[in-house]
Structure formats: C-alpha cells, structure tokens
Amino acid sequence: MKEKTELQKLKVLRQNNQEANAITRNCIENALILLMQTKSFADITVTDLTRKAGVSRTAYYRNYASKEDILSGYMHSLSQTLSNVLKQFDAVTETKQSWRALLEAVVPLVPQFKLLLDAGFFDKLVTEFAAKMNDTTSEGDASRYYSNQYWAGAILTVISSWIRNGMDADIDQLAEIGANLMTNGIRTAVEYGNKCE
C-alpha cells in the first residue's frame, strides 16, 4: 500500500512539473510576442525574455535551447494546421473550398504568423510546410515531392502577402484567386495581367 502511495505522489509531482513547464513556456512565448512589438527578433536577448516573462534563466533553458526554439513551436503548429486543413479536401474538385478553409484557419494564427515573418523564418516555414505535405510521399517520387515544394511555397507566399497587406482581400476573393491559380496555373496569371517579360 505504501508503495502505491509513493507512485501516486510521483505521478502528481510529474503532472505538477508538466503544468509548471507549460505555464513557463506560455509566459516566455507571450514575452517574445510583446518584445517583438518594440525590438527585432535578432536584438532580443534571453535576459530580455526572462525578465519580461518573470522566469529564471534556468526555467528558460529547461524549456528552450534557444530563442529560435520558441518560434520552432509556432512554425510546427502552423504547418501542421495548414497541412491538416488541406488534407480534408480534394485539391482538384474542392480547390476553392480548400483555399477558403485554409484562409479561415490562418485568421486566428495571424499573430504567430507575423512573428515568424518578422523573425525572418519564412524560408523555414516553407520547408516545414512542404515536409508536412510530403509526409505521405514515397521516396524517389520526384514529381510529387517537387509539386508539394512548389505548392507549399506558392500557398505560403500568398498567405504571407495577404497578412502583410493587412488582409486587404476578403477570404472569398482570395479563395477564388487561389483556386483559379491552382486549377488553371499560368493561364490564370496571364488573365490577371502577369507577364514574364
């Protein structure tokens, strides 16, 4: 009976530690968001983060190896969300619906997306998103691999431009543009007046 009680205590202690670490991570993430409103990502120090978050350096390093690790979590979460949305639709027959759902999924993630863009993580975000899209690609399937690379870059370029422009196009308008580009490719670009001259 005493052994069971000790195991229960350890379980509670582990759970408390996990909860404390989650709170610490949340404080550090929020501190980074606040600091990036006044400083560039490159100029933010671990000292700045720990002071703003109200945590010790030990608590910081228990959760993150570097400040880039904080953004890696955002990047992974964002890429996973976008990938999950796209997997719900047939890219050929439900193109506009997939774009609409994608844009709707992005709206609540705009602060994290802006953080990544402001920190210069766009290329890393494309790489992460393409990797998620290629999760089911067989090794040696070059056409599918490079197609996913292309679409990951195209989709994220459109989304990041939309966010940087203050989300100036409404979701339906942008979904229509994205769907036209995906289904008609270069013909749509020409229709919109884009020429490679």
Among the three residues 15, 48, 64, which one is the final residue of a domain in this structure? 64
**Does the pLDDT at position 2 exceed 70?**
no
Among the three residues 28, 46, 64, which one is the final residue of a domain in this structure? 64
Please tell me whether residues 99 and 171 are part of one structural domain: yes
pLDDT in tens, 141-185: 788 888 888 889 999 999 999 999 999 999 999 999 999 888 887
CA distance 164 to 159: 9
Count structural domains, the chain.
2
Task: For residue 136, give the H/E element and its range.
Answer: none
- Longest distance between any two alpha carbons in the chain, whole Å: 81
- Global confidence as pTM: 0.75
Q: What is the pLDDT of residue 191?
A: 73
Please tell me whether residues 16 and 88 are part of one structural domain: no
What is the identity of the amino acid at 71? L
CA distance 157 to 150: 11
Q: What is the CATH number of the domain that holds 31?
A: 1.10.10.60
CA distance 89 to 98: 6
Average pLDDT over residues 11-17: 60
pLDDT in tens, 87-116: 898 888 999 999 999 999 999 989 888 888
**Does the pLDDT at position 129 exceed 80?**
yes
Any domain includes 115? yes
Structural domain that includes position 172:
69-191
Any domain includes 7? yes
**Does the pLDDT at position 197 exceed 60?**
no
Q: What is the pLDDT of residue 11?
A: 60
Any domain includes 27? yes
- A 10 A CB-CB count for 4 gives 8
Q: Report the candidate in 152, 175, 151 with the shortest Cα–Cα distance to residue 102.
A: 175
Q: 45 by DSSP, 3-state: which?
A: coil
Please tell me whether residues 104 and 17 are part of one structural domain: no
CA distance 189 to 22: 46
